[in-house]
Chains A and B, each alone.
Chain A
Amino acid sequence: MATIDAGDVGISEVNLKIRELAEKGENEIVLYNPDARHLISVGVIGKSKIKIKGSAGYFCGGLSDGPTVEIQNNAGWGVADNIMSGTVIVGKNAGAIPGVGMRGGKLVVKGNLGSRAGAMMKDGVIIGGGKANFMAGFMMMGGRLIVCGDCEGGVGQNMISGTIYVGGEIQSLGADAKFEEMEEGELEDIYQLLDEFDLPHPESFRKIVPEGKQLHYAKYERKLSPAKISVPEGPMWDKRLVEDIAVKADLGRYRVRSFGSARHIPTFDDIAFKITPEMVLSQKNPRARCRLDTVLGNKFASNPLRLKMPILIAPMSYGALSKPCKVALAKASSIAGIAINNGEGGMLPEERAAAKQMIYQCLSGRYGFSPHDMLRADAIEIYISQGAKPGLGGQLMGSKVTPEIAYLRGLPQGIDIRSPSRHPDVLGADDLIIKIQEFREVTAGRVPISLKIGAGRVNNDIKIALKDTVDFIEIDGMEGGTGASSSVVTDNVGIPSLAAIVQAMSGLDEIGCGGQLQVVQMGGIRDGVDAAKAIALGAHAVAVGTATLVAMGCTGCMTCHTGNCPRGIATQNPELVSKLEVDCAAARVASFLDSMGTEMAAIALACGVPSVHGLCRDHLVALSPQAAEITGLPLAREGDMLA
């Protein structure tokens, strides 16, 4: 037995000790004076037993695989979050979201369970000896939740899979949950589990399962024949609008669509560099003379991303995209010396193997999220929202939810996935700090932690991000691409990248923190010139999504969401997928990325700076009064060009 006195030491030190002892195979570790502090015993891999003599704060025992954690008294929010296996026992009460995102193992709370117990859990068992607060089993995706006492309202709200058993009174069921008769042997199973933890047997249990009404759209879009639309193209009415109305009349709901923005918004085309064309053309061998190398995320992390040029491949999920497409993008990122972001749906092993540097995204649904993959990642990103669908979660239509993708995500196969619109354990900027610290604890501060936000109130959001201690922030303009979103939101919500990057800079300046947070701008970056413009406006790097897909053969047919991509890029249909040749696609994307690098270098040199990071606002002009208004750049007039 080993003991640790947490009394006067920082929590990181406590966790390092626990992990060190666990790795050595110490079978019992006793921790004194926990005093309800946060993040105790997170990220522990192995079978040790950890006894906490007192109360624990947020996320105790979370993101672990294997250990038994015994908390003598209470636990704060998110106890046992995302555990893969092992057992966490709470002697008294647990705060909100106990067992959030659990993927296996057992959580036993002898007292009451806080609200939204088992939110987004995929597997494993949660047992509550007392009552359960509001919305037990909220968006549960698998596993079992057993509540011995009474439940407040909304039990099983929007549950997708899994089973809830309640021994006491149930105030009300949540949306899309229903009662079901217990099968033979089920009650005995529960009693056996209760016996294992010395919990008394309630006389009977009621069983709650998903009703399943919300797991599929009631109707799908049918293909309209274009010949039937005869409206002329004009400012008020056009073919797309007529089609839109016809489809909505059919479905009675919004349309789902994919690809980038389909309407006119101010873009990087509306600004230009103050240089004459000859100055760009006269640059010989720009790559050799201009520095593009970029360090990203070195604010707190000891191992930041080291990029050969300030470009990332934007997060795009395996699910929206096919496996060969993901692997090709990963290979291209390695050839180009940059990093890829895995996107939603878990880390695809083949993609990880092909990528030299990978950012690992943590999204609201926590599909496939695991501490092991966190340790394999080169950076971790908390997704708040994206430009194409700010305020909404990801969508993946059932036609793309193959057995493999369903397995990776921990969801039933074939459902129309609509990811939660917010994180179960981040309900404000104050909770977010603790989540970020949790990720730092798990990775011992090695890798950068970033945020991705859809551009809305960037001016406020960037200040919050700065205070929340991220290493960098990714801002996605409204024109950003998507694999599937509601077209209403895609075309009408948020602000464009041009406005976003300007607001980000002014937000930091307003609080005297200019230059203190690296910004990655994405959304509508289509070549090296766009990238150079974003950097001149203040971005530290850019990310490209749609353009990389186009480079590998996407024709922009806007049907990614249907899963019928004719090029094998955004589909899971084996026949179509087989059309995409990984190495060829990778080479094309790498070559496109290389061209971006050359364009950036040529522009920087033409502006008279030896590094792309030397570009600044002084090198830019606005081409329209609108762009001048948005960016604060001067309008192009005679004599503006640099000689």
Chain B
Amino acid sequence: MCGIAGLMLRNSGAIGKKLVGMLDGLQHRGPDSTGFALYRQPAADRMVMRILLKCSAETHEGKSRASKVLQILRGFGVEVLSDSYTQEHYRLEIAPVPAVKDLSYAVENQAGVEILSFGSALEIIKDVGSSLDISKRYGIEAFTGTHCIGHVRLATESIVDASRAHPFWAYGFSDVAIVHNGQITNYWKMKRRLQKTGYQFRTDNDSELIAVYLADKLDRGFSLEEVLARSVDELDGTFSFLVSTADGFGFAKDHLAAKPMVVLEKDDMVAIASEEVALNRLFPGESLDTYEPFPGAYKTWQLSTLAMSA
């Protein structure tokens, strides 16, 4: 029960500021929490891991969790380039590693923390509060990059906290994130299936399931577009979701068309949001040439071409 928004620019730009505005325009759809998945040009020489310590880094417990994280990383032979924190959020820059999933599970399970995102292009920042609020707290507006997705949440079943805020990182799969509006009704069935194949879940939120489901499919070698095509048939319920990777992004919409979504495509950008009001935040005063995708529709865009691939 929420609002979602996404934006891809042909040339790197002020995506942080733009997404903050779009989500502010959607805040009525979800007052509980707000989150941002922001993408830079992928770096060849470093990856960023963002961690939720689940208590402030200023406290004794927070400090010990952060040092535990460093210890585990060293154990894996990972070179830590820098680290910093804001309240519960711990950010590390490390030299690139291949085994993203194994490393992530080790960090989470041993340090009692939660990884919000991990990748060479992606950073996820999410917390309880409004778009403007979180932007101020974490300096989102200053972020420049190529594409982003974001979310405002109105919790209906699970608890309101930073872990259950969106976007969800496609756990163990670097640089993949999703935001979702709706409700997955075959949640338990799909979750059990994925758990059997070794995936761990951190929340009871059905959107996390979509992230893991997509990651699993990508891991099996399907293209983003193939994954989305399958998702509209395999996921049951009402949904509109956005997924983003290091160099692409796309949407999928259920067969019932019960959740709103509006798309704006221009030569040098694509913007998607639950409501047109968010798109107008990018172009105040303009009449936009938007469309609402049909039920069961999905579509992807690649950064390199910013041309439609579906």
* A186 lies within 8 A of chain B by Cβ: no
In this complex, how many residues of chain B approach chain A with their Cβ under 8 Å: the count is 41
* B93 lies within 8 A of chain A by Cβ: no
Mask: chain B, 259-282; 1 = CB below 8 Å from A; 0 = not: 110100000000000111101110
Q: CA of A33 to CA of B280 in the docked complex: distance in angstroms?
A: 10
In the complex, residue of chain A having the shortest beta-carbon distance to the beta carbon of B284: A35
Q: Which residues of the other chain, B, contact A76 by a CB distance below 8 angstroms?
A: 260, 275-277
In the complex, residue of chain B having the shortest beta-carbon distance to the beta carbon of A55: B276
Q: CA of A464 to CA of B157 in the docked complex: distance in angstroms?
A: 9
Decide: A430 and B291 in contact? CB cutoff 8 A.
no
Q: Which residues of the other chain, B, contact A37 by a CB distance below 8 angstroms?
A: 277, 280
Q: Which residues of the other chain, A, contact B295 by a CB distance below 8 angstroms?
A: 115, 133-134, 152
Decide: A96 and B181 in contact? CB cutoff 8 A.
no
* A592 lies within 8 A of chain B by Cβ: no
Q: A73 is contacted by which of B28, B160, B288 (Cβ under 8 Å)?
A: B288
In the complex, residue of chain B having the shortest beta-carbon distance to the beta carbon of A72: B287
Decide: A57 and B286 in contact? CB cutoff 8 A.
no
Q: Which residues of the other chain, A, contact B225 by a CB distance below 8 angstroms?
A: none
Q: CA of A35 to CA of B280 in the docked complex: distance in angstroms?
A: 5
Q: CA of A460 to CA of B160 in the docked complex: distance in angstroms?
A: 12
Decide: A57 and B160 in contact? CB cutoff 8 A.
no
Decide: B154 and A35 in contact? CB cutoff 8 A.
no
Measured CB to CB, the closest approach of chain B to A94, in angstroms, equals 9
* A206 lies within 8 A of chain B by Cβ: no
* A372 lies within 8 A of chain B by Cβ: no
**B225-281 interface with A by 8 A CB criterion:** 238, 256-260, 262, 274-277, 279-281
* B294 lies within 8 A of chain A by Cβ: yes
Q: A434 is contacted by which of B28, B181, B238, B292 (Cβ under 8 Å)?
A: B28
* A54 lies within 8 A of chain B by Cβ: yes
**A-B contacts, CB under 8 A, total:** 113
Q: Which residues of the other chain, A, contact B292 by a CB distance below 8 angstroms?
A: 93, 95-96, 112, 114, 133
Measured CB to CB, the closest approach of chain B to A444, in angstroms, equals 19
Measured CB to CB, the closest approach of chain A to B134, in angstroms, equals 18
Decide: A96 and B294 in contact? CB cutoff 8 A.
no
In the complex, residue of chain A having the shortest beta-carbon distance to the beta carbon of B158: A460
Mask: chain A, 505-532; 1 = CB below 8 Å from B; 0 = not: 0000001000000000000000000000
Measured CB to CB, the closest approach of chain A to B281, in angstroms, equals 8
Q: CA of A583 to CA of B260 in the docked complex: distance in angstroms?
A: 51
Decide: A428 and B1 in contact? CB cutoff 8 A.
yes
Interface centre among B160, B276, B280, B290 (most CB of A within 10 A): B276
* B112 lies within 8 A of chain A by Cβ: no
* B16 lies within 8 A of chain A by Cβ: no
In the complex, residue of chain B having the shortest beta-carbon distance to the beta carbon of A437: B28
B29-37, B72-80, B84-92: which lies at the A interface?
B29-37
Q: Which residues of the other chain, A, contact B285 by a CB distance below 8 angstroms?
A: 7, 32-33, 35, 54
* A74 lies within 8 A of chain B by Cβ: yes
Q: Which residues of the other chain, A, contact B275 by a CB distance below 8 angstroms?
A: 36, 38, 57-58, 76
Decide: B277 and A35 in contact? CB cutoff 8 A.
yes
Q: CA of A134 to CA of B296 in the docked complex: distance in angstroms?
A: 10
Decide: A36 and B160 in contact? CB cutoff 8 A.
no
Q: B160 is contacted by which of A55, A115, A511 (Cβ under 8 Å)?
A: A511
* A433 lies within 8 A of chain B by Cβ: yes
Mask: chain B, 124-168; 1 = CB below 8 Å from A; 0 = not: 000000000000000000000000000000111100100000000
* B182 lies within 8 A of chain A by Cβ: yes
* A77 lies within 8 A of chain B by Cβ: yes
Decide: A55 and B287 in contact? CB cutoff 8 A.
yes
In this complex, how many residues of chain A approach chain B with their Cβ under 8 Å: the count is 41
Q: Which residues of the other chain, A, contact B1 by a CB distance below 8 angstroms?
A: 428-430, 464
* A240 lies within 8 A of chain B by Cβ: no
* A17 lies within 8 A of chain B by Cβ: no
Measured CB to CB, the closest approach of chain B to A449, in angstroms, equals 15
Decide: A57 and B277 in contact? CB cutoff 8 A.
yes
Q: CA of A21 to CA of B279 in the docked complex: distance in angstroms?
A: 30
Decide: A430 and B280 in contact? CB cutoff 8 A.
no
Interface centre among B257, B274, B284, B289 (most CB of A within 10 A): B257
* B3 lies within 8 A of chain A by Cβ: yes
Q: CA of A520 to CA of B296 in the docked complex: distance in angstroms?
A: 41
In the complex, residue of chain A having the shortest beta-carbon distance to the beta carbon of B2: A430
Q: CA of A433 to CA of B182 in the docked complex: distance in angstroms?
A: 15
Given A35-B277, A36-B277, A427-B238: A73 and B287 interface contact (C-beta under 8 Å): yes
Q: Which residues of the other chain, A, contact B183 by a CB distance below 8 angstroms?
A: 428
Decide: A464 and B257 in contact? CB cutoff 8 A.
no
Q: Which residues of the other chain, B, contact A430 by a CB distance below 8 angstroms?
A: 1-3, 29-30, 154, 181, 274
* A253 lies within 8 A of chain B by Cβ: no
In the complex, residue of chain B having the shortest beta-carbon distance to the beta carbon of A36: B276
Q: Which residues of the other chain, A, contact B32 by a CB distance below 8 angstroms?
A: 467
In the complex, residue of chain A having the shortest beta-carbon distance to the beta carbon of B32: A467
Q: CA of A434 to CA of B27 in the docked complex: distance in angstroms?
A: 11
In the complex, residue of chain A having the shortest beta-carbon distance to the beta carbon of B287: A73
Q: Which residues of the other chain, B, contact A287 by a CB distance below 8 angstroms?
A: none
* A463 lies within 8 A of chain B by Cβ: yes
**A31-65 interface with B by 8 A CB criterion:** 32-33, 35-38, 53-55, 57-58
Q: CA of A58 to CA of B274 in the docked complex: distance in angstroms?
A: 11
In the complex, residue of chain A having the shortest beta-carbon distance to the beta carbon of B281: A35
Decide: B257 and A38 in contact? CB cutoff 8 A.
no
In the complex, residue of chain B having the shortest beta-carbon distance to the beta carbon of A115: B257
Q: A433 is contacted by which of B29, B155, B156, B277 (Cβ under 8 Å)?
A: B29
Q: CA of A72 to CA of B287 in the docked complex: distance in angstroms?
A: 8
Q: Which residues of the other chain, A, contact B256 by a CB distance below 8 angstroms?
A: 134
Decide: B259 and A464 in contact? CB cutoff 8 A.
no
Q: Which residues of the other chain, B, contact A114 by a CB distance below 8 angstroms?
A: 257, 292
Q: Which residues of the other chain, A, contact B280 by a CB distance below 8 angstroms?
A: 35-37, 54-55
Given A74-B276, A76-B276, A96-B257: A428 and B294 interface contact (C-beta under 8 Å): no
Q: CA of A36 to CA of B287 in the docked complex: distance in angstroms?
A: 9
Q: Which residues of the other chain, A, contact B276 by a CB distance below 8 angstroms?
A: 36, 55, 57, 74, 76, 95
Q: A134 is contacted by which of B181, B257, B289 (Cβ under 8 Å)?
A: B257
**A81-107 interface with B by 8 A CB criterion:** 92-93, 95-96
Decide: B154 and A467 in contact? CB cutoff 8 A.
yes
Decide: A36 and B29 in contact? CB cutoff 8 A.
no
Interface centre among B183, B281, B288 (most CB of A within 10 A): B288
In the complex, residue of chain B having the shortest beta-carbon distance to the beta carbon of A37: B277
Q: Which residues of the other chain, A, contact B181 by a CB distance below 8 angstroms?
A: 428, 430
Q: CA of A275 to CA of B292 in the docked complex: distance in angstroms?
A: 63
Measured CB to CB, the closest approach of chain B to A287, in angstroms, equals 43
Q: Which residues of the other chain, B, contact A96 by a CB distance below 8 angstroms?
A: 257, 260, 292
Given A36-B280, A76-B275, A467-B31: A429 and B156 interface contact (C-beta under 8 Å): yes
Q: CA of A464 to CA of B256 in the docked complex: distance in angstroms?
A: 23
Q: CA of A522 to CA of B259 in the docked complex: distance in angstroms?
A: 32
Measured CB to CB, the closest approach of chain B to A95, in angstroms, equals 6
Q: CA of A35 to CA of B276 in the docked complex: distance in angstroms?
A: 8
Q: CA of A427 to CA of B274 in the docked complex: distance in angstroms?
A: 13
Q: Which residues of A contact B (CB under 8 A)?
A: 7, 32-33, 35-38, 53-55, 57-58, 72-74, 76-77, 92-93, 95-96, 112, 114-116, 133-134, 152, 427-430, 433-434, 437, 457, 460, 463-464, 467, 511
A-B residue pairs, 6 tightest by C-beta: A36-B276, A73-B287, A35-B280, A430-B29, A429-B1, A36-B277
Given A152-B295, A430-B181, 10 more pairs with CB closer than 8 A? A35-B280, A54-B285, A74-B276, A74-B287, A133-B292, A134-B256, A428-B1, A428-B183, A429-B1, A460-B156
17 contacts between A and B (CB under 8 A): A32-B285, A33-B284, A35-B281, A36-B275, A36-B276, A55-B290, A72-B287, A73-B288, A74-B276, A76-B260, A76-B277, A95-B262, A95-B276, A96-B257, A96-B260, A428-B258, A428-B259
